[in-house]
């Protein structure tokens, strides 16, 4: 038969297992793991102390055990806050834990009252668990699957609910110190629900940590480490998707952007100076990127900007303003300071375009922009029409050829 001791012992063993799992994640760079680890450690310490009631001094099994158990809730909340990049209200939480300690001392040594001790600890748990559910739902990252966050929040609300009901139930009992009231069917049922919730919350925390690590890996795979722009592979995959979805009413435009005379910048300011210019350009271009647009680094100093649902006229205006902004930008750093300019080729997707052909048409425009003196914008639509693929291939020299021809 289930007793308070058997429930506390089982939960302590669950928490120990989760502690070991969290231990394996302590070295991960994800914020919050350390606090969740301490939350479980507090559970592992406090539950046996509660279970040892009558076998050890009351001060340990009542005051210390309840304070440490309250710390578990506070640490769990702190883990969530840190995981979500929010400040941890340590002062308020530790004040709450101190109040629990005072309540335990008063209702054990001044006015012995077991029901009021249960009410005090369940009130604290209800508040902390509600706060956990709220922060998880309100602050969850919008670019990740909401599943873990809803799951954890529902568990936190379930725990808050059972704690509240348990507190209300004990409020109806007469002041007493008889442990028999702990073994009532009501208390055992509510404790059983509570017993699965804390280890489950930790399991979800582990799922959230894995998801956060996956997000970091995905970000590293899809973004160029120097500039933060999308990688060429990711950019090409977005191009394919957007091309497939493009319609005459929602034209797709590609800007191919190349920094002018970048070799000279490297030669004058060193490779580190060149890197700084690349970073500054992407940061500046980021201000032009609207939700749904995609900016990728396609090679050394060549970038692509995809503009879905954009007319050729709007794209040309954006390109011109980007060019003017680059021309006016002064990049400074340890290397000194320098100016740079960009050339831009524009192409609007045709319904029959393959990604390669779309790119080649924008590249043709970029070549025209470079050829006519650099620091310009050229649109493929304004160039003489080419009839065949072969003509396009002949028209487009390899980039190296283009550069040497223009140097």
> Which residue numbers are catalytic?
301
Asked if 171 and 117 touch (Cβ cutoff 8 Å), the reply is no
Q: Whose Cβ is closer to ligand GTP: residue 92's or residue 339's? A: 339
The residue count for the chain: 407
Q: Whose Cβ is closer to ligand GTP: residue 325's or residue 371's? A: 371
Phi, then psi, of 377 in degrees rounded to 5: -120, 130
Q: Which residues partner with 250 through β-bridges?
A: 247
Q: How far is CA 226 from the centre of its chain?
A: 20
User: Could you say whether residue 262 binds ligand GTP (CB under 6 A)?
Assistant: yes
Q: Whose Cβ is closer to ligand GTP: residue 237's or residue 403's? A: 403
User: Could you say whether residue 86 binds ligand GTP (CB under 6 A)?
Assistant: no
Q: Whose Cβ is closer to ligand GTP: residue 20's or residue 220's? A: 220
Asked if 36 and 76 touch (Cβ cutoff 8 Å), the reply is yes
- What residue has token string 């003017």? 324
Asked if 62 and 117 touch (Cβ cutoff 8 Å), the reply is yes
- DSSP class of residue 177 equals -
CB of 342 to ligand GTP, least distance (A): 9
Q: Whose Cβ is closer to ligand GTP: residue 302's or residue 353's? A: 302
CB of 302 to ligand GTP, least distance (A): 8
d(CA 257, CA 178): 79
d(CA 30, CA 27): 9
User: Could you say whether residue 259 binds ligand GTP (CB under 6 A)?
Assistant: yes
User: Could you say whether residue 300 binds ligand GTP (CB under 6 A)?
Assistant: yes
Site string for ligand GTP, 274-293 (x = CB under 6 A): xx--x---------------
Member of 220, 226, 245, 394 binding ligand GTP (CB under 6 A) = 226
Beta strand 302-307 with 342-348 is unpaired
CB of 267 to ligand GTP, least distance (A): 8
Member of 34, 53, 261, 279 binding ligand GTP (CB under 6 A) = 261
Structure tokens at 118: 């249960």
Q: Whose Cβ is closer to ligand GTP: residue 138's or residue 264's? A: 264
CB of 75 to ligand GTP, least distance (A): 44
Asked if 18 and 36 touch (Cβ cutoff 8 Å), the reply is no
Phi, then psi, of 333 in degrees rounded to 5: -175, -165
Cα angle 173, 177, 179; round to 5: 90
Structure tokens at 196: 């699965």
Single out the segment in contact with ligand GTP by CB under 6 A; choices: 39-47, 198-206, 238-246, 253-261.
253-261
User: Could you say whether residue 269 binds ligand GTP (CB under 6 A)?
Assistant: no
Site string for ligand GTP, 331-370 (x = CB under 6 A): ---------------------------------------x
Single out the segment in contact with ligand GTP by CB under 6 A; choices: 39-47, 175-183, 204-212, 252-260.
252-260
Q: Whose Cβ is closer to ligand GTP: residue 279's or residue 357's? A: 279
Asked if 225 and 312 touch (Cβ cutoff 8 Å), the reply is no
Single out the segment in contact with ligand GTP by CB under 6 A; choices: 238-246, 266-274, 308-316, 323-331.
266-274
Q: Which of 195, 171, 184, 180 is nearest to 53 (CA)?
A: 180
User: Could you say whether residue 78 binds ligand GTP (CB under 6 A)?
Assistant: no
Helical residues (DSSP H) of 329-384, grouped into ranges: 355-371
User: Could you say whether residue 271 binds ligand GTP (CB under 6 A)?
Assistant: yes
SS3 187: helix
Q: Whose Cβ is closer to ligand GTP: residue 211's or residue 275's? A: 275
Q: How far is CA 230 from CA 221, 242, 282, 366, in A?
A: 9, 15, 10, 20
User: Could you say whether residue 263 binds ligand GTP (CB under 6 A)?
Assistant: yes
Cα angle 391, 396, 400; round to 5: 155
CB of 407 to ligand GTP, least distance (A): 7
Single out the segment in contact with ligand GTP by CB under 6 A; choices: 94-102, 242-250, 263-271, 381-389.
263-271
Asked if 295 and 279 touch (Cβ cutoff 8 Å), the reply is no
CB of 280 to ligand GTP, least distance (A): 12
User: Could you say whether residue 297 binds ligand GTP (CB under 6 A)?
Assistant: no
CB of 333 to ligand GTP, least distance (A): 12
Taking phi over 0 as left and psi of -120 to 50 as alpha, with beta for the rest, 199 belongs to alpha
- DSSP class of residue 353 equals -
Chain residues binding ligand GTP by CB under 6 A are 226, 258-263, 266, 271, 274-275, 278, 300-301, 370, 374, 403, 406
């Amino acid at each position: 038969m289930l007793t308070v001791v058997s429930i506390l012992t089982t939960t302590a063993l669950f928490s120990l297992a989760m502690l070991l799992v969290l231990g394996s994640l302590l070295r991960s760079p994800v914020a919050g793991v350390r606090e969740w680890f301490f939350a479980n450690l507090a559970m592992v310490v406090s539950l046996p102390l509660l279970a040892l009631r009558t076998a050890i001094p009351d001060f340990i099994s009542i005051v210390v055990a309840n304070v440490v158990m309250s710390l578990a809730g506070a640490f769990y909340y702190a883990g969530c806050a840190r995981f979500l990049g929010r400040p941890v209200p340590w002062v308020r939480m530790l004040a709450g834990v101190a109040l629990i300690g005072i309540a335990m001392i008063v209702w054990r040594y001044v006015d012995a009252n077991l029901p009021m001790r249960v009410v005090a600890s369940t009130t604290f748990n209800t508040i902390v668990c509600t706060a956990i559910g709220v922060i998880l739902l309100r602050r969850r990252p919008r670019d990740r699957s909401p599943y873990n966050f809803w799951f954890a929040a529902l568990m936190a609300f379930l725990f808050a609910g059972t704690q509240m009901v348990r507190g209300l139930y004990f409020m109806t009992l007469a002041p007493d110190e008889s442990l028999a009231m702990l073994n009532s069917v009501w208390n055992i049922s509510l404790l059983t629900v509570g017993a699965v919730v804390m280890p489950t919350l930790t399991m979800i925390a582990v799922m959230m940590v894995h998801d956060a690590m996956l997000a970091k890996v995905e970000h590293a795979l899809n973004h160029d480490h120097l500039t933060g722009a999308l990688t060429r592979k990711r950019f090409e995959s977005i191009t394919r998707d957007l091309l497939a979805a493009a319609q005459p009413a929602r034209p797709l435009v590609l800007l191919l952007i190349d920094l002018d005379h970048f070799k000279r910048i490297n030669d004058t300011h060193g490779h580190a100076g060149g890197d700084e210019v690349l970073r500054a350009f992407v940061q500046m271009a980021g201000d032009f990127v609207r939700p749904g647009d995609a900016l990728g680094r396609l090679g050394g100093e060549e970038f692509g900007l995809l503009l879905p649902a954009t007319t050729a006229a709007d794209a040309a205006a954006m390109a011109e303003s980007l060019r003017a902004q680059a021309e006016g930008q002064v990049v400074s750093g340890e290397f000194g300071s320098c100016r740079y300019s960009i050339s831009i080729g524009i192409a609007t997707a045709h319904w029959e375009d393959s990604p390669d052909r779309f790119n080649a048409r924008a590249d043709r425009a970029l070549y025209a922009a470079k050829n006519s003196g650099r620091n310009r914008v050229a649109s493929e639509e304004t160039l003489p029409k080419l009839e065949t693929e072969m003509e396009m291939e002949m028209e487009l020299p390899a980039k190296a050829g283009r550069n040497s021809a223009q140097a």
